[in-house]
Amino acid sequence: MASLMRQSCLSALRTPLATRNAVGISQVVAFHASARKQILPPLPQTIQGTMNDAAPIPTPHPSEGSYHWTFERLVTVGLIPLTIAPFAAGSLNPVMDAVLCSLLVVHSHVGFQASIIDYFPERRVPKTRTFLNWVLRAFTLTTAVGLYEFETNDVGVTEAIKRVWKA
């Protein structure tokens, strides 16, 4: 009886999410995610080995680990003066614009690649991760070509930002 009372008292606080049946016990609405009826089913899961097996150690590679982290930080720190200089001192030359665009493309690629690595583990969804990596490469190449065309055949990124800012 006490649990029925507690359930009915708690359900009174959740009136927008719950409805009452004939006995007065609240029922959860259809769109509520519960352990019995999940909105999205989990991905396929497999267990490899036993719990006593050691975790596999990946083979070291120069483009991963601390070198990769250092490269990311150098690109990020390099973007700071390249972003400020054209607006503080004027558009100095097209080479600086080209370096800015190149670092922006590399910075974006590395950031999106890290997101793909974090959210789509190769062990669970290898085909999805491979597909997303190829999509990222295609978008990176398209962005690089588009920025190159904009830099060579138009006013350039920093001048375009200045014009939009003053418009």
For the annotated binding site, the residues are 107, 119
Q: Where are the alpha helices (DSSP H) in 91-125?
A: 94-119
Residue 35 neighbours by CB distance under 10 Å: 5
Contact indicator for 128, 120 with CB cutoff of 8 Å:
yes
Report the binding-site residues for a ubiquinone.
Answer: 119
Where would I find the beta strands (DSSP E) of 5-124?
A: 18-20, 26-28
The identity of residue 152, as a single letter, is: T
Report the binding-site residues for heme b.
Answer: 107
Q: Which of 44, 67, 60, 53 is nearest to 125 (CA)?
A: 44
